[in-house]
Amino acid sequence: MELEEDHVIFGERLAEASGKIIRERFNKNRLVQYKDDGSPVTSADKDAETVMRDMIMVEYPNHGILGEENKSWQIGSEYLWVLDPIDGTKNFASGFYNFGTLIALVIGGRFALGIINQPVLNQCWIGVAGRGTLFNGDLTETRECSELGEAWMCSTTPNMFRGSKENGYKKLSSNVKHSIFGSDCIGYAMLSCGQIDIVCEAQLKPWDFAAHIPIIEGSGGMITDWSGKKLTLESSGEVLAAGSEELHKQAVLALA
């Protein structure tokens, strides 16, 4: 089971179709509903995921789908599409640009394809395992930062760090140069382009991180859980990404 070029092209089609819906709704409908877990959702979230699911079921009826807004479909399939129609719904609903659509294809448990699409700004990152990462068609590369004390780090919100995770995060944040919040998926995109050095987050679901793995690794970075173990669809949700193996090692030690 290998990733084919048709899969990559189809992933781009998913980004285009969902992006059309998101662009049309941006800054035009502030109606927000709340799910049982208290997280926000808009009609754009639901409709963008629906259009992607419908496309997958037609093009690849034997593939599985794991998405944030709808029930899973054939998740035992060797080919599994993992979808987050709008990562950063609060930012989207507020008119901020730090949000994006996350699309991943997992093949036999391997994170083979990852896409971060910011449709309003026409920014798209595509990571393919073993090939590298492209930002709007150009190869990306993480920047050189080998010292934790010189690193710029971002996270979505400090509220995601609770209990022992809060203690670990505080130790890490006290050792970096700057900490930035409010990034959502765009933080990982910025890391892949060499604009920041570390992303540290907790309480993530598979659709929150699956797309980032090929993108970060393809640009020369490293992404694991907080203990340095490879991420899987069953991971507990603590994610640490860094621009280099050495910087990642220092961050893991700081979190311990």
CATH of the domain at 36: 3.30.540.10
Q: How far is CA 132 from the centre of its chain?
A: 16
Regarding whether 170 and 121 lie in a shared domain, the answer is no
What's the confidence (pLDDT) of residue 1?
80
**Whether residue 117 is found in the same domain as residue 15:** yes
Same domain, 9 and 31: yes
Once rounded to an integer, what is the mean pLDDT over residues 61-87? 95
Domain interval for residue 68: 5-139
pLDDT surpassing 90 at residue 172:
yes
- Over 80: is that where the pLDDT of 30 sits? no
- Count of domains for the chain: 2
Rounded distance between C-alpha atoms, residue 80 and residue 165, angstroms: 30
Q: How confident is the model at residue 156 (pLDDT cuts 50, 70, 90)?
A: very high
Decide: 202 and 160 in contact? Cβ < 8 Å. Answer: yes
pLDDT for 71: 86
SS3 28: coil
58 and 170 part of one domain:
no
Confidence of residue 119 (pLDDT cuts 50, 70, 90): very high
Residues 210 and 133 in one domain: no
Among the candidates 77, 107, 139, a domain finishes at 139
Same domain, 88 and 171: no
Of the residues 105, 139, 173, the one at which a domain ends: 139
The rounded distance, in Å, linking the Cα atoms of 172 and 176 is 7
How many whole angstroms separate alpha carbon 118 and alpha carbon 230? 27
Q: Are residues 95 and 167 in the same domain?
A: no
What average pLDDT does range 181-199 have in this prediction?
Answer: 97
Q: Check residue 46 and give its pLDDT.
A: 95
pLDDT of residue 205: 97
pLDDT score, position 31: 74
pLDDT, residue 34, reads 85
Same-domain check for residues 135 and 13:
yes
- Angle formed by the axes of helices 5-25 and 43-59, to 10°? 150
pLDDT-derived band at 70, boundaries 50, 70, 90: confident
Residues 6+ apart with CB under 8 A from 209: 201, 223, 231, 235, 239
Residues 50 and 95 in one domain: yes
pLDDT over 80 (residue 150): yes
User: Could you tell me if 193 and 119 lie in one domain?
Assistant: no
Contact 156, 183 (CB under 8 A): yes
| Domain end position, chosen among 107, 139, 171 | 139
List the CATH number of the domain containing 220. Answer: 3.40.190.80
Rounded CA gap, 114 and 87, in Å? 14
- How much is the pTM? 0.95
* Same domain, residue pair 131 and 194: no
Mean pLDDT across the chain? 96
Confidence category of residue 37, pLDDT binned at 50, 70, 90: confident
Q: Are residues 9 and 45 part of one domain?
A: yes
> What share of the chain has pLDDT > 90, as a percent?
90
Write down the pLDDT at residue 22.
Answer: 97
Tell me the mean pLDDT in the region 123-145. Answer: 97
Cα–Cα separations (whole angstroms), residue 178 to 37, 75, 143, 173: 31, 39, 16, 8
Angle CA 90–95–100, to nearest 5: 60
| Of 50, 75, 55, the residue nearest 65 (C-alpha) | 75
Q: Is the pLDDT of residue 33 over 90?
A: no
* pLDDT for 109: 96
Assign 132 a pLDDT band (cuts: 50, 70, 90).
very high
